[in-house]
Structure 1
Amino acid sequence: MKGIFPIIFFILLGLSNNIFAQDANDILLKEYHAEKHDTSKIVSLHKYIKLNYSSPDSAIKYSKISIELSDKIQNIALLAKSYNLLAISYYYSGDLINSEKNLNRSLSYYTQLKDKRGMATCYNGIGVIHYDQGKLYRALQLYIQSLRIKEQLGGQLSIAMTLNNIGNVYKDLEKVEKSLEYYNKSLAIKKTLSDKHGIAMTLNNIGLLYHNNGEYVKAQDYYKRSLIIKKEISDLHGEAMTLNNIGLTYEVQKKFNLAIPYYEKSIAIKKEIGDQYGLAMSLINLATVYRANKNYSRCYKKLFESEKIAKKIGATTQLRDCYQRLYETYEIQSNIKQAYKYYRLYIAAKDSMMSAESIKNIQKLQAQYENEAKQLTIKNLTKKEELSQAKLDKNKAELKSKNIINIGLIGVLILSAILGVFFFFSFKQRTKTNLTLKKSLDEKEVLFKEVHHRVKNNFQVISSLLNLHANNTDNEAVKKALGEAKDRVGSMALVHEKLYQSKDLTQIKMDEYISQLIMHLSDGFDIETEFATILKIEDIYLSIETAVPLGLIFNELITNSLKYAFKKGANNSIEIEIKKIEDKIQVEYKDNGIGLPKNFDLDKLESLGLNLVQILVLQIQGELVVDTGKGACFRFEFSLPK
């Protein structure tokens, strides 16, 4: 849901004003430089890092220095703590991969020390990362692991934090009662400890839970209780966030005039405290309400204001959302030219979030590799020259000392020298050619990635155009046909997306592709019926020529199951099995829905989707077999291209 961010405490941080924090930073850095002993230096650095998570680059820099010093004195406890602080610093920078990697290093040291409190902290931290990545069941497992240790050790505030995190997972899993159970346990502990900041945070999260469940009156009650405490403790950041959340509850109820003052108050506080990221987000929310009131001039004004801030601070997420609202608003006003312009900007912002950092890392590694290869070539050539010179000097000394002139030997030596020079220049030329070929291959790889990226973007543009046409027609049959075409385009776009994100630009890992395709299709359907997916897919890579038709086949079969096969409240499931036997791929798709009609006949199909399935199976030189027993089952096999 837009603009709502559940608060998960990665660690327990104190609040201090900016002037005090800056003074403390200066004092701690002076202490660090003045200390003579490495242990004291590390302790000063740890204090400095904890105060500077909001400046992650600085926190990362000093965390790495702390690790070097800890490693130097071989202090395992300080190493464990230093890696933990580095992980938190990476987390605040948005680098979840490096954060998890360093938490696992910290965990290994805490395990070596048998430090259960440290282990519990790491399990909780890794759980937070998995939660942010949407891996909810893994996050839940880690939180529970952390909670068990904390309950053995005591420390009520830390227990309350993990209980709150478990509540967040159950909230996202839409298990309302379970989520409330853990939130209330957390809340009870915080009330006992008079932890006002924690109480306000959990009240806000309960508000989010009721909001997501559509119980907006209850959500507003908990938000307002949270707001009272946040005002009492002068938590301006929290106050602005909760005001924004209250605005959202009124917005979803279409009480737009009631939402506006809450958004405006939130914006005023964010301007006061300099929260540029939050300000850009709340301006987008306020613009959305103005749009709903058909006050388009104010809507555009707020969106352009948000765009300016987002560009200035490099807030790609807010920029993406801003462009999305702009293209949607222009589309509503039938300004197709401007809608298309901002749709392209929206796609570009969305893609840059996924690819900018990976491209930067690839270029860095490529430059490093080329430099190392160049240095190695120079070193080898220098060594060969030195060896050749040494050999010539030795021959000269022997000839001088013996004073024997052997015409035959001279001839052999001259011939050897000529061959040596020939081979040397051949080697040099071959090395140069190899480096040129490598550079050419690297350039082609980047080109192929860019081609796949552009193809995927063009597919998305086509998808958007289909969507625009669907929204501009009242003919339900046309809308349905355009929607199905959009899904087919989406399955092909996904192939190219997987290709430009993979190391191998010619093959696609099928288990990842099918999983993502199912998510893409289920997200696109406005259905209340739940279903489970069972994937039995071996570690198989297929070329684009095979993956595209196979993706379209699954697109049609999954769509058919979601639209026609499942009943609300039943234990619905889709099972896909793909396995390799010698040089053949065997595929089986089945659901446990209402099944196919008794008179089902492959040769007399009227459905475009199933006709397309049959054509695509033939295209990859397979033969479709249908089982009309319980549910629907489709089988086929095909040979791998040689």
Structure 2
Amino acid sequence: MEVNKKSVSKKMPCIFTKSFVLSILLLMFHVRGSAQYYPAPMPVNPANESKLAISLKNSKPDKNRVAILLDLANIYSYRPVRKQADFNRAMDFANAATKLSARLRNDSLYNNAQLFTAEIFTLENNMKSAESILGLLNDTSKLKLLLNLSYKYWEREGDKKEEDWPKAIFFAEQAKKLSIQLHLPQYEILALSYMALVHYSKGSHTAEAELLEVLKKYNAIKYRKLQYVYHPLAVISYRAGKPDKADYYSIKTIESMQETGDTTVAGDFYYWRSVITGNNEDYQKSLDYALLAITHFKVHPGQISLADRADVLGMPVIALRKMKRYREALNYIRKTDQEYPLVSVDDKIDDVLMIGNIYRDMKAYDMAAKYFEIALNLNKKQNTINNGIYSNLGQLYVESGQYAKAKPILNKFFNIISTYKGPPIASSVISHLNYMAFLADSATGDYRSAIKHLSDYRGLEEFNLRQEQNKEVRRLEVQYGVKEKEDALKIKDQHITLLNQNYKLEQIKLKQSRMEKNIIIAAIVVLLIFTGLLYNQYRSKKRANQATVKDNEVIASQNVLINQKNRHLELLLREKEWLIKEVHHRVKNNLQTIISLLQSQAAYLENDALKAIQTSQNRIYTMSLIHQKLYRGEDVQQINMANYIPELIKHLKDSFDSSNKIIFNEKIDDIDLDASVAIPIALIINEAVTNSIKYAFPGEGAGEITVSLRNQDDLLRLELSDNGVGMDKNSINANPVSLGLQLIRGLTKEIRGEVSIKGSHGVKITILFKKQAIEYANILTEDLINPA
């Protein structure tokens, strides 16, 4: 069997152009395709990273810090190109969030932190560690982790992939049971969709029907995010060779995503839209969707990411090649290499293969061979063998008529696939390369090998043809079955029409014979109805009158009871007010008794002890005066400071002989204060004014003392000042401080105020505080947490 080399080379373009395109597409599209894990954590905008870092630095150890830590973990987990260093940093943030939420005893935050820790473990392919977190979670958080594990076990790559599928089913079933217990149908349906994906991977033909049932269930509960079901249906249809259905489901995916506004995995959706439109030979749309997918992958990865360099970044190159825009394709690769530098050997191999195929399309075979040889040399440095290199190089040599070079390359390819354990290679690809090998063997005179490859080629072509024929037969059977049913329905419709006509004739006869009888019966019925209505109206009025009498009696008795309760409540209220006033009266009397006792004791004391007794008397009088005001006033809880403070100042002035030379200025707004605030304020005024009288004007000196209490926005401002000799800073800041200053600061802290003391040109004490009462329990708690 002799073959002319020239005739072979002339025939080649028309023989294998279309099949080679299909081969390239199938090789390039050998990527994972499915629904994104959902409910996945919503991505945090990476532009917020610096802002979050500043917020973390300035945050307190509360639940807000936990949220910031988890947002930072989210950003590092979902980098556009995932690296182990990013996962490590994300895990640091997640662990910090877990510890803080445990310290805060916040179960909700703790569950969220543990759930995100498990998510990081699954992204690192550390499934055992992720499973260990299940025991730490409960309810909805545990349910979400079960769904996560089911999905991640299904999508895992590797030689032992089939061993992971039972685990995926197990966790999906557990999630389904827990969803039913918690009455969460949305998650129950999601578990069913994951089971369908596993069935599809195992080769089951029921996956599409299962997903359509999932779609039906989601519609029943009015769940809107249907893109997560339409997307796997699109991929399944595409791989099953159903371009129309793939196109339909792909469009529905994009529409649903846009309607719901959930663009979490928009990159995945747009990428597969690019694949499907490219397969339908709409290459401009394929290019547009590919670039749109890359834009989204730069922000947030999906199941596919920029790490899948040959698949994602290679899609625009394939579209540009098909539109013969070769220079644009080369420029795009160079621009991409600058933006995303080549790191791994596999990335470099994919890159030079893309460039080589562009030059092959341009018929620049020498340049194409140069790049394919570079890919071959790079592959020799690895332990694995890239079958794409040999198929591309063999294709090039055959197309360029270099059959002697093509033979060993193609033979190497067939030796590789004989022991190949990776993802299955499409039969159309193997069939096409068998034809290439047949041409190379024929041109070099190796007819025995040529016959073998031709036989394999024809066998695969016949197999593919049978597959297409079987599809067509099934399509015709469906159409024929539908036509038979339509014919049967037409016959049934004709019989039904005849029966209806006969039935109508019989009805007309019956109507004529019953007309008179019906008129008489109708008249009797109308008379009976009218009589019945009259009687019913009489009975209704009678019952309504009886019910009204009963209701009036009930209302009257209830009014009497309400009046009695109101009088009782008024008595209780007056009694309560009397008791409170009595308490204030007795407290005032007790304080007056203590003052009298101290005065009696003072008769036997001298010097410092006597002064201490006098000071204590003034402090007790200050409190006694407040209780006297509460006893005499109508309000038993609040003191009018405009009435109280002048009376207190008068008492202090009368208590010291030297006070006659001192002028007192009072600037008091009309302010009512709760007793819990009024007492500390009164004691502060007592201490400050007493100190000013005693120490500000030594000898026979005279001066002024000012007491001011004013409203200032939402606060009250108390100012106590004199124009005496003042105090130095050492005395103000001494440790320990004087008893008077210590009391002023302690009392200010009790009312949650802020105190400022200045000692130059006299003494000026300024206190800012809130008007409302402060509960002692709150103050004590604050002191324990933040001791002075």
**TM-score calculated relative to the size of structure 1:** 0.49
For CA contacts below 8 A with separation 6 or more, give which structure has more relative contact order: 2
TM-score (norm 2): 0.41
